[in-house]
Chain A
């Protein structure tokens, strides 16, 4: 399967702990996105990478959040000092830069975070 993969699929952590999520995009895609989705809401944009460069960050991405994409391949999203409000599904997506459907994003299955 060559789709977008995310690890772990589920994470339960205690408030105040740090967590890190990994996303492996489709190999030929050089754009990578992170979203957060809470129950009953659509995904909210967090940040976006073009290769290894982080080009845009949402105001939702507080100082406790950091994302990296070393070497332009996989990406990690770290949340420091987790809070109960961080409980959500974290989605990763990737897209190519060429092709007729330029805005099509391929989403991974998500990582569900529960902060207790």
Chain B
């Protein structure tokens, strides 16, 4: 399984765009990149998934460069409710998903 590296924590003011970068240098050809969000005392919630280039949905964008050795989750105009832990996952199989320690995002009013 490809190991991922993310910043432990980030702070941002409300209304700003937040970019969280994840490194996954040994990503395999079949691996997808998935991001989850977790609030305290809740299970993780899927945010976005991609394989290459750019993916956008109603809550976030995911940027993946051509070498796929990193990815950046972009949250536009964050609000206080975006305060959470964000996990970057890289995996090519259904069976086993490995979460790291994630990035704790604190949104400041």
Contacts from A to B (Cβ < 8 Å): 4, 31, 33, 35, 40-45, 48, 55-56, 58, 89, 91-93, 95, 97, 101-110, 112
Given contacts A103-B34, A104-B49, A43 and B99 within 8 Å (CB-CB): yes
A33 is contacted by which of B42, B87, B97 (Cβ under 8 Å)? Answer: B97
Partner of A56, one of B34, B42, B89, B96: B96
Kindly state the separation between the CA atoms of A65 and B32 in the bound complex, as whole angstroms.
30
- Residues B70-103 near A (CB distance < 8 A): 85, 87, 89, 91, 94-102
Which residues of chain B are within 8 angstroms of A40 by Cβ–Cβ distance? 101
CB-nearest residue of chain A to B47: A104
Q: From residue A13, how far is it (CB to closest CB) to chain B in Å?
A: 19
B91 & A103 in contact (Cβ 8 Å cutoff): yes
> Are B95 and A42 in contact, with the CB atoms below 8 A?
no
B97 touches A105 (CB 8 A): yes
CB pair A102–B94 under 8 Å, yes or no, is yes
**Residue interface bits B43-56, CB-to-A below 8 A is 1, else 0:** 11110010000000
Secondary structure at chain B's binding surface: helix, strand, loop or mixed? loop
Complex CA gap A106/B95 in Å reads: 14
B29: interface (CB < 8 Å): no
CA distance A102 to B97 in the complex (A): 12
Shortest CB-to-CB span from A78 to chain B, Å, is 20
How far is the CB of A83 from the nearest CB of chain B, in Å? 23
User: In the bound complex, do residue B32 and residue A103 qualify as a contact, i.e. CB atoms below 8 Å apart?
Assistant: yes
Chain A residues whose CB sits within 8 angstroms of the CB of B89 once the complex forms: 103
A104 partner residues in chain B, CB cutoff 8 A: 34, 46, 49
A31–B43 alpha-carbon span in the complex (Å): 17
Most buried by B among A35, A97, A107: A107
CA distance A56 to B34 in the complex (A): 21
- Whether A45 contacts B96 in the complex (CB less than 8 A), given A103-B49, A104-B34, comes out as yes
CB distance from A30 to the nearest CB of B (A): 11
Residues of B within 8 Å of A106, CB to CB, are: 46
Residues of A within 8 A of B97 (CB): 33, 45, 103, 105
Which residues of A have CB within 8 Å of B94? Answer: 31, 48, 95, 97, 102-103
